[in-house]
Amino acid sequence: MTVDHEQLSQLLKVYFIMGSPNCLQKPEEVLKEAIAGGITLFQFREKGTGALKGTEKAELGKKLLAICRENQIPFIVNDDIDLALQLDADGVHIGQEDEPVEIVRKKIGNKILGVSAHSIEEAQAAIESGADYLGLGPIYPTKTKQDTRAVQGLSLIKDLRENGITIPFIGIGGINASNARQVVKAGADGVSVITAISHAASVSEAVNELKKQVLL
C-alpha cells in the first residue's frame, strides 16, 4: 500500500490501537463498533497481561484484518513484522526498542511504516531510515503501557513542527475527547487511542466524539 503524506495525514486522524487485553468485550465487536464510529486507521497490538501468543494471536489478527478489509480501514501490526508479512497487513509500527527501522523497511517494502520517537534526534533518524509516520508519546499519563518514556506534554509535538519536521505524526498516551483537540492544535495530524475507545460505554460514540475534536 503506497500512501503520500496527505493521505497518511487523513488516515492518522483517529488511529485506534487494540488487542485482546484492552477489551471489555470480544475484540471483533469492539473493532466493528469503532469502525462504525469512524476510526480512520487500526493497529493490532496484542501485548500486555494475558496477551495471546502464536497461533491464537495470528488467528485473532486474521479476524480483525478481515473486518478492516470489509470496511476499507488500513490494518497495521505492532512490533511483529513476521505476522504483518504473514497476514499481508498494510503496515507495521515499531518503537526504539524494536528492530532497526532500515531493516524493517527492507523487510516490508512499500507497506506503511510507523516509528515511535521521543526527541527531535530520534524523529530525524527515523525519517532518514524510512519511516512514513511517527508516534510521539506519552503525551499524557497512561496506565496502558508500563514501560513508557517520561510524559511529554505538548512540547515535543510543537518542537518537531518548529524544527521543520513535516512528516505526518500522531500523539499517543492518555488521549481522550477532552484533550484530543489540543494535541492536534499543537501540530499533530491526529491521535492514537486505546482505552478511551476500547473501555468506553459506547465505543462508537467515543470515536465519534474524538473525531469531532480532531477535525478542526
Ligand X SMILES: Cc1ncc(COP(=O)(O)OP(=O)(O)O)c(N)n1
Q: Which residues are annotated as a binding site for Mg(2+)?
A: 79, 98
How many beta carbons lie within 10 A of that of residue 215, not counting itself? 12
Closest CB to ligand 3NM among 40 and 144? Answer: 144
Which of ligand X, Mg ion, ligand 3NM, none interacts with 173 (beta carbon under 5 to 8 A by kind)? ligand 3NM
Site string for ligand 3NM, 169-208 (x = CB under 6 A): ---xxxx-----------------xxxx------------
Contacts of 145 (CB under 8 A, 6+ apart): 48, 138, 173
Burial 42-54 (b: 16+ CB within 10 A, else e): bbbbbbeeeebee
| Alpha carbon distance 21, 146 (integer Å) | 14
Q: Does 95 bind Mg ion (CB under 5 A)?
A: yes
Site string for Mg ion, 96-125 (x = CB under 5 A): --x---------------------------
Which of Mg ion, ligand 3NM, ligand X, none interacts with 206 (beta carbon under 5 to 8 A by kind)? none
Residue 164 buriedness (CB in 10 A; 0-12 / 13-18 / 19+):
exposed
Beta bridge partners of 16: 42, 193
> What residues line the site for ligand X (CB under 6 A)?
15, 17, 43, 45, 47, 78-79, 93-95, 98, 114, 116, 135, 137, 145, 170, 172, 192
